[in-house]
Structure 1
Amino acid sequence: MNKKNLLATSIAALLMTTVSFSFAANLKIGLAADINSLDPHYFNSGPNNAMASHLFEALVSVDADGRIAPGLALSWKAINPTTWEFKLRQGVKFHDGSEMTADDVVFSLDRPAQIKNSPGPYTSYTKQIIAKQIIDPYTVRLKTASAYGPLPLDMSSVFIVSKKAALQASTDDFNSGKSTIGTGPYKFANFKRGDVVELTKNDAYWGEKSAWNKVSFRIITAGAPRMAALLSGDVDAIESIPPADLSKLKSNAKFKLEQKVSWRTLFWHLDHQARVSPYITDKAGKPLTTNPLKDIRVRKAIAKAINRAALTDRILEGLAVPASNLVAPGVFGYDDSLKVEAYDPEGAKKLLAEAGYPNGFAIALHGPNNRYINDEQIVQTVAQFLSKVGIQARVETQPLAVYFPKAAKGDYSMALLGWGSLAGDFALRTVLGTVNAENGWGSWNWGKYSNRALDEAVESSLASTEADKREAFAKKAAAIALQDYAIIPLHHQYASWALRKGLKYKARTDEFTFAHQFRPE
């Protein structure tokens, strides 16, 4: 090889090495939902939890298929029906170099109850713990008032923070990075609400090291700009592929898709309160003196008015399947005896007439416009279905940051929510359990539904230490809720990611996008 060719080859190799290094050193991801806060105990929402998992960790982790595995706790066991013992990993360091111990764990389990005005508290995971005992720096025992089998699963949802860094910290201190001291695979670099989250690799991480020195998460809630960022190379991967762009991506050799039926179920919360419901009137706009949603016949009519097959096929373009349960197929407690409500507009009209609304009524449907796949179109389509049976429906959608706090206060009559859970009894406890600040039940029960039979079935499920008995009670509770039309299920959403060629990522049931699980091929 002559000198000229040798020089050209060397330059090409150097360029390839530089490109490869740049690609390996930095990862840019387009996120579909805003990050409300970096305080891991402030707002229990999917986007927040996914981001927090880069910076913080829980005692128990969850794999891509929804199975629990060791996290900051190496092992756990039931000492007796009301006591669980967790053995901690030794030598785990926080980002400031201090060691994680049982003292940090106890502090972290206490902190959710101290957060004021949380729009989605974590207390449903901690309220059942009545005592915490530190046996030694690496052993914690958690006591419950009564037998409680799924405590390890609860512990997958509470992040461990540094007591030293968070003792006097406010949520603003976490958002600024001042107190964002965890044990996770990344460290805080920058957070601009609604724009970007930037992280750097934690070289002292106890687990498998990330392939990326720096990760930038761009908040791109609208589907078209998110897709454009991927195609232009502004980001290396995106979550929540816009349905209209699926075929384009499948035929583009520069990209690859990863998809999986997720744990997320989209459904309607209904106002169950005995009040003049704020967004229900007669068709002339006069508020009704009673809340029609208190009548099961009205709730059933709404369920029958919705054509779920058309909704999933046309509006979601196959990225969902019709739902009959609060949790998705394959999730613990899913009851396959419950069937998808048949589309029956004439039956819906008959039920409305029987309930005393032969001419229907007017209602506003509320939902987010930047959280779920085609969420605004979902709300609009359901409004059209309801209008066909005499319920005059208008649509009000809002950005997630505006919508969630208002919905959580019960401001709306009919509100769209997507919920993901690894267990049916957990989901029912949180979404439909009678609201109780003392035990943390009903923290996402927007409609203030209350049914003692449901509560008792969930209590029996949670108290069961035998999996078969627990699941039987969970299914019983699901049947009680769904046969009472406590909520109106719509569909189970697909999780989807698009990646630049040269990357790989295993699709996750929980829909979470974890930068540390992206790898170069």
Structure 2
Amino acid sequence: MLKKIVAAFAVSFFAWCLPLHAADLTMGMAFDVTSMDPHYHLVGPNVNVSMHIFDFLVTPDREKGKLIPGLAESWSVVDELTWEFKLRKGVKFHDGSEFTAEDVAYSFDRPATILNSPGPFTLYTKQIAEKIIVDKYTIRFKTAKPYALMLSDVSNVFIVSKKATAGLSSEDFNSGKGVVGTGPYKFVQWKRGDRVELARNDSYWGKRPQWDRVSLRMLTTPSARVAALLAGDVQVIEGVPPADIAQLKANPDARLFSTVSNRLIFLEVDQLRDKSPYVTDKNGKQLDKNPLKDLRVRQAISKAINRAAIVDRVMEGNAIATGQLLPEGYFGTLPGLKADIADIAAAKKLLADAGYADGFGLTIHGPSDRYVNDAKIIQTIAQMLTRIGIVTKVEALPSAVFFSRMSKQEFSVMMLGWGGGLGHVSTFVKSMLTTYNAEKGWGTGNYGRYSNPKVDAFAEQALATIDTGKQEKLWQQASQLALSEFGLIPLHHQVNVWATRKGYAYFPRTDERSLAMEVSGK
């Protein structure tokens, strides 16, 4: 299935690459951004924009997320508690100041100072107990205990200029202050809700980007993106709507590029509160007892969902139904684990066994403009749950509103998506399935507050295990246990499709990023 999908839409990147020369590029982006502060909100659209302006110490490549040198030329394990990073010399920030180890230390301190973040980057910084500047171009990170995921974590924290950003708030960044990186493009302006304008950094330490100026236009309505591409107003669009793929494939002025994403679309349910705000009887009165805390109810919800129908009818074949955290074959996935099969009779029996033979009322919340067909998916799931007696309403909200309210734990059931980043299940387990602990930076995405000490113990062991084979087994044990208890309810992995004008090419990334640096053309 996976190979068929990729083969159906992918056009060889290299076949379309043309000689590079200076030009401007406009890209149609599917999702809006919420901040120019690269440490404010750990969400895909923000990270995507920041990757043009800022760099990581270690960076994932575009094909499988393999870690390669970024601002760090090399790294080594000094002892079981100490990682050392050798930094590139001669790298300049956009304001001309020199990049040094002080900027690195500051960049890893800063996420903990961000107030009211709806998705904190502390997930990747809490484990660092001490930052030691050895010299101008060498820094060491010490941990309180052996920690195997240091490289993965540092590949998620953007390096900012201490000189340019010290004392600035996230709102200052939104006005343009402090948006000073070492990346291939310089910040020009952000027109909120409209576009981000960038200019090439001619002093970039890496490969010189092709495009003089880049405009990232926020075209959050799918039809508007397609229309802008066909009209020639943009040269590249992301998030091609499944319904428009056949049309674009047949159009001689368009090219399609696709890959299976490591993003999981899933449900999180409130497993903490005895009374959950959007769980009611069928007359709309809040229940005194939260049925979502009962495993049998979570199993029933999963059994009620026909994932194959969602893939075929809502996603028009451009998704992979799953019971996993990542597509099979990635590090830590469970061989042979398939998506739950829809079974209405079994779902009703599970509800009856849990004491809810007559069902109950529920509201599902989710974004209306963040994931491919997100509002349609939520509506479809609501219909499926209603068939087993869980009378379900839907509130699909603009992503800025949804994520803000979700961070305050206002919802009972929510549909989310999470990208696997480096293709490693640790990202999911640590963020989504370990017990929430702000001090440790664990469970930062665990809004349902699922908790099992055994899962936490497996994660603790895995994080302290350097042996790759033993580490993978521990992550498998953690994810298998959490999934068996429906700590979250997996739905599908997206297949992401980009479209370009004829003469342009885009190399599709498994991490879903849409980067001007990956576009080649006229």
Task: Please give the alpha-carbon distance, in whole angstroms, between the structure 2 residues aligned to 1:335 and 1:176.
Answer: 46
Contact 1:300 1:351 in 2 (8 A): yes
Partner of 2:28: 30
Task: Please give the alpha-carbon distance, in whole angstroms, between the structure 2 residues aligned to 1:49 and 1:467.
Answer: 28
Deviations 1:155-174 (A, max 9, x none): 00000000001111111221
Q: 1:329 Cα deviation (Å)?
A: 2.6
Q: 1:24 Cα deviation (Å)?
A: 4.2
Structure 1 residue runs of 4 or more that deviate by more than 3 Å after TM superposition = 20-24
Give 3-state SS (helix, strand or coil) of 1:147's partner. Answer: coil
Q: 1:75 Cα deviation (Å)?
A: 0.7
Amino acid at match of 2:358: N
Task: Please give the alpha-carbon distance, in whole angstroms, between the structure 1 residues aligned to 2:89 and 2:305.
Answer: 54
Give 3-state SS (helix, strand or coil) of 2:375's partner. Answer: helix
* 1:494 and 2:495 correspond: yes
Give 3-state SS (helix, strand or coil) of 2:211's partner. Answer: coil
Amino acid at match of 2:376: Q
Cα gap change, 1:384/1:87 in structure 2, threshold over 3 Å: closer, same or farther? same
Give 3-state SS (helix, strand or coil) of 1:335's partner. Answer: coil
Cα gap change, 1:22/1:149 in structure 2, threshold over 3 Å: closer, same or farther? closer
Q: 1:478 Cα deviation (Å)?
A: 0.7
Contact 1:263 1:331 in 2 (8 A): no
Task: Please give the alpha-carbon distance, in whole angstroms, between the structure 1 residues aligned to 2:136 and 2:21.
Answer: 41
Q: In terms of mean alpha carbon deviation, does 327-336 or 205-214 score higher?
A: 327-336
Deviations 1:107-131 (A, max 9, x none): 0000000111110000010000001
Q: 1:340 Cα deviation (Å)?
A: 1.1
Contact 2:329 2:335 in 1 (8 A): no
Partner of 1:456: 457
Partner of 1:470: 471
Amino acid at match of 2:494: Q
Amino acid at match of 2:334: D
Contact 1:196 1:218 in 2 (8 A): yes
Deviations 1:173-206 (A, max 9, x none): 2111111010000001110121110000000001
Contact 2:165 2:177 in 1 (8 A): no
Cα gap change, 1:22/1:399 in structure 2, threshold over 3 Å: closer, same or farther? farther
Partner of 1:106: 105
Partner of 1:14: none
Equivalent position to 2:49, from 48, 51, 61 = 51
Contact 1:271 1:447 in 2 (8 A): yes
**TM-score by structure 1 length?**
0.95
* 1:345 and 2:352 correspond: no
Amino acid at match of 1:25: A
Amino acid at match of 1:179: G
Contact 1:279 1:412 in 2 (8 A): yes
Partner of 1:246: 245
* 1:370 and 2:369 correspond: yes
Partner of 2:408: 409
Amino acid at match of 1:455: D
Partner of 1:330: 329
Contact 1:189 1:199 in 2 (8 A): yes
**TM-score by structure 2 length?**
0.95
Deviations 1:383-419 (A, max 9, x none): 0110111110011000101001111221111001100
Task: Please give the alpha-carbon distance, in whole angstroms, between the structure 1 residues aligned to 2:446 and 2:105.
Answer: 28
* 1:61 and 2:59 correspond: yes
Deviations 1:486-510 (A, max 9, x none): 1111000011100111111111000
Larger Rg: 1
- Please give the residue correspondences for 1:4-403 in structure 2 after superposition, counting only pairs within 5 Å: 24-65=22-63, 66-403=65-402
Q: In terms of mean alpha carbon deviation, does 272-281 or 305-314 score higher?
A: 272-281
Give 3-state SS (helix, strand or coil) of 2:177's partner. Answer: coil
Deviations 1:430-454 (A, max 9, x none): 1121111111111111111111111
Give 3-state SS (helix, strand or coil) of 1:57's partner. Answer: coil
Give 3-state SS (helix, strand or coil) of 2:431's partner. Answer: helix
Partner of 1:481: 482
Contact 2:21 2:210 in 1 (8 A): no
Deviations 1:143-163 (A, max 9, x none): 011111110111000000000
Higher RCO, 1 vs 2 (CA within 8 Å, ≥6 residues apart) = 2
Task: Please give the alpha-carbon distance, in whole angstroms, between the structure 2 residues aligned to 1:23 and 1:131.
Answer: 45
Task: Please give the alpha-carbon distance, in whole angstroms, between the structure 1 residues aligned to 2:122 and 2:279.
Answer: 32
Partner of 2:15: none
Partner of 2:7: none
Q: Which runs of 5+ in 2 are unaligned?
A: 1-17
Contact 1:425 1:477 in 2 (8 A): no
Contact 1:173 1:180 in 2 (8 A): no
Q: How many residues align?
A: 502
